Structure 1
Amino acid sequence: MSELVTGEAVALELRPARLPSRALAVLLDLVVAVAVYIAVTIGLVAATASLDEAAQIAVSIASFILVLVGAPIAVETLSQGRSLGKMACGLRVVRDDGGPIRFRHALVRGAIGVIEILLTFGVVACVASLVSARGRRLGDVFAGTLVVRERVPTARGGFVPPPPPWLAGRFSGLDLSAVPDGLWLAVRQYLTRMQQLDPQVSWRMAERLAADLAARTGAPAPQGVPPAAYLAAVLQERQAREARRAFGNGPAAHGPVRNGAVAPPAGAGGWPQPAQASGPYGPPTAQPNSAQPNSEQRSVEQPAAPAPIEEPSAQRPGTGFVPPA
């Protein structure tokens, strides 16, 4: 992956084309160009049969330059860096800043390509492409261009397992502004592939990522919470905040909604600790104290609207309580 910086200071991550794909694209272009050149030559020989030898040589040289040099330059200029071979291989010529090429870029590439591709049978171009870190030949170096891959195989996004239900909404008070994007990417990649790792290796990786995440947020993981569950819960909190920023604030900004009531987020010392963890996160390292209720048990869920109190009647005592039906 190559990082290009545009004129607006925007970093672009592009995949430079390597020698095999570029060689195949050049070979396809040469096959088409030679076929067109042979057809044009046959037509010109028939049309210039009455001319002298010098005129025929001049016409043949002009047809060679126009077909094998001018035509590729015109095609790359009009198609903004996509010749027939490059379109077939999913490649494109771009500037060093990632923008589309212009006529001067195609002209320099085509003129130098005559020497390093046609006259040397591609030896100079292959050596320059192998030496260059981004696979550029001499024409790309002098023109300030780069051949990149347009069709990048997309890998299937791994499934990120949700956190345990007893951790939902419990990290709404964390400050996630200091967490870099690289750490979020590492956490997401770990959660999508932790089932494929050795259990001990997976546990150590989760502990290291949880320590890095806790150092960035300034709040350590609660005692008794598995590190993988902690990572999944914090990642879900970040996704929930991004969704609220994109679609507007709702009740989720105050905490999880249960039975129509919004439960306030737990404090720093009121993290719930389950008797056993469910899902792929493994058992917690500590068991909860059954004699002391946790924060979820302490939060009393209130109904959406209180039930109306019926007035006492002659058949019912005026105690203020409604007898059961």
Structure 2
Amino acid sequence: MSEVVTGDAVVLEVRVAQFPSRTVAVLVDLTVQILVLVVGLISLQWFAAFTDPAMFAAVVIALLVLVMVVYPVTVETASRGRSLGKLLLGLRVVSDDGSPERFRQALFRGLASVVEIWGFFGAPALICALVSQKGKRLGDLFAGTIVISERVPRSRGDAIMMPPPLAAWAASLELSQLPEEVAAAARQYILRWRDLSPQIQYEMGMRIATQVAAYVSPAAPAGVPPHAYLSAVLAERRRRDEARLMRHATPQAPYGGAAPYGGPAPYGGPTPYGGPQPSGGPTPSGGPTPSGGPTPSGGPGPYGGPAPSGPPPAAAGHPAPPPPQGPPVAGPHAPGQETPPQETAGGFAPPQ
């Protein structure tokens, strides 16, 4: 992975194309160009019979310019950074700031390829790509471009999913001030979250969530566990980065269609990540519950952790007992009775 800084001073993570894939893409493009040259030269044999050598040489030079320069420049400009070989390998040429390749940049790349690829059989391009940290050849250095891979392999365990109850809140987040090192620490915590003990999960999560909350607004809803808060922030940040990077390449409505985080929102109304969720439909934890009903005690809660245990809901026709007045009094509890969780500062719920 490499980082590019956009014109809005936003850092994006992109996967730089590897040398083997770029080599195969170049070989595919060269094969197509050589075939066109061979067919063109064979077709010009009849023209040489009734014209003078100077005119024939001019036509041959024009054919070479068309195949070596005009063809790749036109294709890359029209396809926004893709040639035939790059299309087959899932590669794309973009500017150093992540924006689509422009005509001027494609022209610089095409002119440089005449020298470094056709003139010296690719030796300068090979040496420069091996020395460059981002695998740039001379044409990329002159044009200010970089070749990225759009087919990013991602294991299921590395995918940070959006908690559906936080989707609508995450859509309104201000993330431009979040430092990269804080986001990287939050990502490492989320990836290792299930391997930690419950106490370490909460203590480390509270520390990292407090650091993230100092740069992110608005504040988290009350009672949100730290790992769910961090998952929502990172998933929304990644969604915005991908949308910004591919906005010009593949235009699409950022909030239309199916929900990108795994399912509809559980609150009944339309959200930015999907269609409306009917009342009484499936909850994020799996089974259907009646509208407004609590999650069964002991079952998974809406954020992936265990749901807090508590008294069952009042039966139909009988009023619920009034809540206790005043601050909680510390003292012994009956066997099997648990103290209800208390909210902490910042909206994060303690471990259950």
TM-score bin (small chain): 0.5 to 0.7
Asked if structure 1 preserves the Cα contact closer than 8 Å seen for 2:3 and 2:14, the reply is yes
2:193 aligned residue: 191
Asked if structure 1 preserves the Cα contact closer than 8 Å seen for 2:29 and 2:84, the reply is yes
Cα distance in structure 1, aligned partners of 2:139 and 2:57: 29
Asked if structure 1 preserves the Cα contact closer than 8 Å seen for 2:190 and 2:231, the reply is no
Cα distance in structure 2, aligned partners of 1:62 and 1:22: 28
1:181 aligned residue: 183
Cα distance in structure 2, aligned partners of 1:84 and 1:158: 31
Cα distance in structure 1, aligned partners of 2:311 and 2:115: 73
Residues 269 and 158 (structure 1), Cα distance of their counterparts in 2 relative to 1, 3 Å cut: farther
Question: Do structure 1's residue 295 and structure 2's residue 339 form an aligned pair?
Answer: yes
Cα distance in structure 2, aligned partners of 1:108 and 1:183: 40
1:35 aligned residue: 35
Cα distance in structure 2, aligned partners of 1:62 and 1:104: 21
Query: C-alpha displacement at 1:157, in angstroms?
Result: 3.7
Residues 159 and 258 (structure 1), Cα distance of their counterparts in 2 relative to 1, 3 Å cut: farther
Query: What's the TM-score, normalizing by structure 1?
Result: 0.60
**Post-superposition CA distance 1:121-177 (Å, at most 9, x none):** 1111011001111000111011011111011123224699xxxxxxxxxxxxxxxx9
Asked if structure 1 preserves the Cα contact closer than 8 Å seen for 2:128 and 2:137, the reply is yes
2:57 aligned residue: 57
Cα distance in structure 2, aligned partners of 1:238 and 1:211: 14
Question: Do structure 1's residue 213 and structure 2's residue 215 form an aligned pair?
Answer: no
Amino acid at match of 2:24: L
Amino acid at match of 1:23: T
The structure that is helix-richer by fraction is: 1
Unaligned runs of 5+ in 1: 161-176, 195-201, 219-231, 272-287, 298-325
SS at match of 1:295: coil
Amino acid at match of 1:41: L
1:66 aligned residue: 66
Asked if structure 1 preserves the Cα contact closer than 8 Å seen for 2:91 and 2:148, the reply is yes
**Post-superposition CA distance 1:204-251 (Å, at most 9, x none):** xx8766544344568xxxxxxxxxxxxx9542466699978x969x97
2:250 aligned residue: none
Asked if structure 2 preserves the Cα contact closer than 8 Å seen for 1:116 and 1:124, the reply is yes
2:312 aligned residue: 259
Cα distance in structure 2, aligned partners of 1:27 and 1:239: 42
Amino acid at match of 1:295: T
RMSD: 4.3
Asked if structure 1 preserves the Cα contact closer than 8 Å seen for 2:209 and 2:226, the reply is no
Amino acid at match of 1:26: V
2:131 aligned residue: 131
Residues 81 and 207 (structure 1), Cα distance of their counterparts in 2 relative to 1, 3 Å cut: same
Asked if structure 2 preserves the Cα contact closer than 8 Å seen for 1:270 and 1:294, the reply is no
SS at match of 1:191: helix
Cα distance in structure 2, aligned partners of 1:188 and 1:27: 41
Query: C-alpha displacement at 1:100, in angstroms?
Result: 0.9
Higher-Rg member (1/2): 1
2:46 aligned residue: 46
Cα distance in structure 1, aligned partners of 2:183 and 2:153: 23
Unaligned runs of 5+ in 2: 161-174, 211-223, 237-264, 273-290, 295-301, 315-319, 342-352
Residues 16 and 237 (structure 1), Cα distance of their counterparts in 2 relative to 1, 3 Å cut: closer
SS at match of 2:54: helix
Asked if structure 2 preserves the Cα contact closer than 8 Å seen for 1:34 and 1:68, the reply is no
1:306 aligned residue: none
Cα distance in structure 2, aligned partners of 1:92 and 1:7: 19
Cα distance in structure 1, aligned partners of 2:329 and 2:190: 26
Asked if structure 2 preserves the Cα contact closer than 8 Å seen for 1:37 and 1:68, the reply is no
- Percent of aligned pairs with the same amino acid: 39
Cα distance in structure 2, aligned partners of 1:130 and 1:40: 35
1:24 aligned residue: 24
In the alignment of these two chains, the number of paired residues is 238
Residues 115 and 259 (structure 1), Cα distance of their counterparts in 2 relative to 1, 3 Å cut: same
> Equivalences for 1:27-176 in 2 at 5 Å?
27-157=27-157
SS at match of 2:152: coil
More displaced, 67-76 or 84-93?
67-76
1:3 aligned residue: 3
Query: What's the TM-score, normalizing by structure 2?
Result: 0.56
